[in-house]
Amino acid sequence: MIKIALLGFGTVGSGVAEVIENNRRVISRRLGEQTEIAHILDLRDFPDSPYAGKIVHDIDTILADPEVKIVAEMMGGVHPAADFTKAAIEAGKSVVTSNKAVVAEEGDKLLRLARKHGVRYLFEASVGGGIPCLRTLADSLSCNDIISVRGILNGSTNYMLTEMTKRGIGYGDILPEARALGYLEADPTADVGGFDAARKIIILAAMAWGKLLPLDAVSTVGITGITPGDISAAAAEGKKIKLVAEATRTGGRISCSVSPRLTSPGSMLYSVDGPFNAVEINSNAAGRTLLYGCGAGKLPTASAVVSDIIEAALRPSEDLPAYRWTKAGPDDIIIPGLTDGIRPLCE
Amino acid sequence: MIKIALLGFGTVGSGVAEVIENNRRVISRRLGEQTEIAHILDLRDFPDSPYAGKIVHDIDTILADPEVKIVAEMMGGVHPAADFTKAAIEAGKSVVTSNKAVVAEEGDKLLRLARKHGVRYLFEASVGGGIPCLRTLADSLSCNDIISVRGILNGSTNYMLTEMTKRGIGYGDILPEARALGYLEADPTADVGGFDAARKIIILAAMAWGKLLPLDAVSTVGITGITPGDISAAAAEGKKIKLVAEATRTGGRISCSVSPRLTSPGSMLYSVDGPFNAVEINSNAAGRTLLYGCGAGKLPTASAVVSDIIEAALRPSEDLPAYRWTKAGPDDIIIPGLTDGIRPLCE
């Protein structure tokens, strides 16, 4: 029996419980034993949930339970999530997470701490929801020099751009609608300003090259300036505007940007519409690989979390070089200049 | 120092040597040590190659070298490749391969033998060249019930269909051209008859559900019957004809087919043109995941072989349930009926 604890019982947390319950048979076949959710940390109570008896309000209950070997953190925000992660690792537990803010900000330190304590820190769900992009960089392309990584990493803005293109309308017209449909947070800045995509490209770049860039090293332009005129000018050329996050390495220096780009029908990213995400990896032997799927949503994100739980259970103290990150220094970074207008995406 | 032996020094074999040489730095970073090619088995000599001194003509030289821990088999054909694989495993060596015929025919036995001897048998390169489709099924989607797997798995026929569509010509017109360009073997039956794709969907289905189907359980129609009329009728509806391999499981029974299908612009497979391949996995939590890339070619296929070498070096005796296959019996299989005409592909 593998006992796990969940931190956060919102959309992703309840999705993780659902996947563990519904896919019990396939998971136990993979693991050779059963999994059980021992505790769920949340500020709220859930009196009507079948998990009501598992809800705890104090992280110490989880930290003090020696039977819990894996903690899944799905709280969002840097604090207290990062502090709880640190405490769980120090208590000898592996931590898996969907929390991109923590990984982009503290990933290097938490990976070092996990290595020191002989446990895992895994975060496939932090980028691209159910798309297996981080493990592909760590494992499947492990013999490649990675030339660049780019993608459509934010489902909300891709949904908005898809609708703007279909209907020939501007940002101001789609914003209230996207909000009404629940595609945006009360404060939509992280999505529409490109910062959510910036955090994700930071994580992808760290998986590719082992260097964790600070957020202010990513040249970031969101979609708020896109007008109906931009949309129709692109359509007149048979193109679509997509918010593309891109990381490249030249002469040992990493350059990251997030900005609206013109994509042509010849590009695979052109076909990525609605809330879908895609990650395109260009490597020196495998060539161009594209991974496409549900970039967000309850079950796809939960799928990545639970697959990481399985990984942590099967290989509880593995120490792969792909997970040895250091903070990027000034010599590791080029900050690309911001240009006016919407640049075309090279194929 | 990790010593490896190559069986076969043709296109893929020489590509593996090239990737190991060119990407020496990234590979040794992943492994924590250097790799060295100790022997290369081939019928020919290569007097002008830098590897001339490594060429051997007798498998026993390799089997008898206790320092060789990993053998990469890239010979093609079932015999003697399967026999050499068996002998290498019995000599305590892990085997990685690009040889889809061996995996589709003997995969279950070879995996069982590898488990018995505490070594690995890995074959990412046997399906989709550089596309990480098998490892995605084994690892990244490990918590999912797989509903279906389908894809464009043969680059030669996809190149031919792409040209036929672009130029509105039929199979008879493109065949000599594809042959002249080196896209086809002297006997093109395996490609154009759909049997190459059938072997690959058998391997994907085995990774998804643990059951290895015989080739005659896959309903297989190739592209030889496609006329200019079929192409223009599809184009008139804004569609493209693609050779799609598909595996689904219903009520515990697996059904596999390879046949020309009508794809619409809304489908990601519609955009897969030229020699590219794509694999689409539909799973119950992650939803629809598409993996796209170079499905063949020297370096992409070599990339998958070398990544498997790294995997075998890092986890020399891991025994994952995804690699426990049994032969499919009559109760595991539904053989889909062959229908006249070109069926549309459901989105």
Q: How far apart are CA A78 and CA A99, in angstroms?
A: 8
Please check whether residue A268 is in contact with residue B292, taking contact to mean a CB–CB distance below 8 angstroms: yes
Smallest Cβ–Cβ distance between A140 and the set B19, B27, B307 belongs to B307
Q: How far apart are CA B127 and CA B154, in angstroms?
A: 9
Q: Using a pLDDT cut of 70, give the percent of chain A over it.
A: 100
State the pLDDT at residue A340.
Answer: 73
Give catalytic status of residue B239 as yes or no. Answer: no
- Which architecture characterizes domain B2-132+298-327 according to CATH? 3-Layer(aba) Sandwich (3.40)
- Does the CB of A311 have a partner CB in chain B at under 8 Å? yes
Smallest Cβ–Cβ distance between B27 and the set A143, A297, A315 belongs to A143
Per-residue pLDDT of A19-31, as tens digits, reads 999 999 999 999 9
Categorize the per-residue pLDDT at A189 as very low, low, confident or very high, splitting at 50, 70 and 90. very high
Closest CA to A150 of A257, A234, A295, A240: A257
Q: Is a pLDDT exceeding 80 seen at residue B318?
A: yes
Contact across the interface for B307 and A271, Cβ inside 8 Å: no
Domain extents in chain B: 2-132+298-327, 133-295+329-344
Q: Using a pLDDT cut of 90, give the percent of chain B over it.
A: 85
* CB contacts, 8 Å: A314 with chain B: 320
Output the CA torsion sign for A187, A193, A197, A201: negative
* CB contacts, 8 Å: B311 with chain A: 139, 142
**Residues of A (246-285) whose Cβ lies below 8 Å from B:** 268, 270-271, 283-285
Residue the block writes with tokens 């894809």: B151
Q: Is a pLDDT exceeding 80 seen at residue A36?
A: yes
The ipTM estimated for the assembled molecules is 0.94
Per-residue pLDDT of A106-136, as tens digits, reads 999 999 999 999 999 999 999 999 999 999 9
Q: Is a pLDDT exceeding 90 seen at residue A265?
A: no
Per-residue pLDDT of A277-310, as tens digits, reads 999 999 999 999 999 998 888 999 999 999 999 9
Chain centroid to CA B175: 23
pTM for the complete prediction? 0.96
Whole-number average pLDDT of chain B: 94
Q: Is a pLDDT exceeding 80 seen at residue A178?
A: yes
Categorize the per-residue pLDDT at B221 as very low, low, confident or very high, splitting at 50, 70 and 90. very high
Per-residue pLDDT, averaged over A255-261, amounts to: 97
Q: How many CB pairs under 8 A join A and B?
A: 181
Q: How far apart are CA B290 and CA A290, in angstroms?
A: 8
Per-residue pLDDT, averaged over A213-230, amounts to: 95
Q: How far apart are CA B151 and CA A256, in angstroms?
A: 32
Q: Using a pLDDT cut of 90, give the percent of chain A over it.
A: 85
- Does the CB of B22 have a partner CB in chain A at under 8 Å? yes
Contact across the interface for A303 and B144, Cβ inside 8 Å: yes
Most A CBs within 10 A among B34, B140, B276, B323, hence the mutation to make, goes to B140
Q: How far apart are CA A311 and CA A243, in angstroms?
A: 32
Helix axes A298-314, A11-22, angle to 10 degrees: 60
SS3 A164: helix
* CB contacts, 8 Å: B297 with chain A: 287
- Which architecture characterizes domain A2-131+298-327 according to CATH? 3-Layer(aba) Sandwich (3.40)
Categorize the per-residue pLDDT at A182 as very low, low, confident or very high, splitting at 50, 70 and 90. confident
State the pLDDT at residue A94.
Answer: 98
Contact across the interface for A321 and B131, Cβ inside 8 Å: no
* CB contacts, 8 Å: B300 with chain A: 285-287
State the pLDDT at residue B118.
Answer: 98
Contact across the interface for B291 and A289, Cβ inside 8 Å: yes
Q: Is a pLDDT exceeding 80 seen at residue A338?
A: no
Per-residue pLDDT of B71-82, as tens digits, reads 999 998 999 999
The answer for residues whose C-beta is within 8 angstroms of residue B28's C-beta and 6 or more apart is B34, B35
Residue the block writes with tokens 């080196």: B182
Q: Is a pLDDT exceeding 80 seen at residue A185?
A: no
Please check whether residue A220 is in contact with residue A195, taking contact to mean a CB–CB distance below 8 angstroms: yes
Categorize the per-residue pLDDT at A341 as very low, low, confident or very high, splitting at 50, 70 and 90. confident
Please check whether residue A146 is in contact with residue A289, taking contact to mean a CB–CB distance below 8 angstroms: no
State the pLDDT at residue B237.
Answer: 93
- B346 vs A10, which has greater pLDDT? A10
C-alpha distance from B49 to closest chain A C-alpha (Å) = 21
Contact across the interface for A294 and B302, Cβ inside 8 Å: no
Q: Is a pLDDT exceeding 90 seen at residue A337?
A: no
* CB contacts, 8 Å: B22 with chain A: 284-285
Whole-number average pLDDT of chain A: 94
Per-residue pLDDT of B248-273, as tens digits, reads 999 999 999 999 999 998 788 999 99
Q: Considering the candidates B54, B93, B200, B240, report the single residue annotated as catalytic.
A: B200
3 state SS for chain B: CEEEEEECCCHHHHHHHHHHHHCHHHHHHHHCCCEEEEEEECCCCCCCCCCHHHEECCHHHHHCCCCEEEEEECCCCCCCHHHHHHHHHHCCCEEEECCHHHHHHHHHHHHHHHHHCCCCEECHHHCCCCCCHHHHHHHHCCCCCEEEEEEECCHHHHHHHHHHHHHCCCHHHHHHHHHHCCCCCCCCHHHHCCHHHHHHHHHHHHHHHCEECCHHHEEECCCCCCCHHHHHHHHHCCCEEEEEEEEEEECCEEEEEEEEEEECCCCHHHHCCCCEEEEEEEECCCEEEEEEEECCCHHHHHHHHHHHHHHHHHCCCCCCHHHCCEECCHHHECCCCCCCCCEECCC
Q: How far apart are CA A253 and CA A332, in angstroms?
A: 5
Residue B22: which region, alpha, beta or left (left: phi > 0; alpha: psi -120 to 50)?
alpha
Q: CA of B311: which chain A residue's CA is closest?
A: A139
Q: Considering the candidates A200, A211, A239, A298, report the single residue annotated as catalytic.
A: A200
* CB contacts, 8 Å: B132 with chain A: 132, 136, 139-141, 289
Pick the CATH number of A133-295+329-344 from 3.40.190.10, 3.30.360.10, 3.90.75.20, 3.40.50.1380: 3.30.360.10
State the pLDDT at residue A247.
Answer: 98
Per-residue pLDDT, averaged over B30-35, amounts to: 92
The answer for residues whose C-beta is within 8 angstroms of residue B50's C-beta and 6 or more apart is none
Residue the block writes with tokens 């089997």: B63
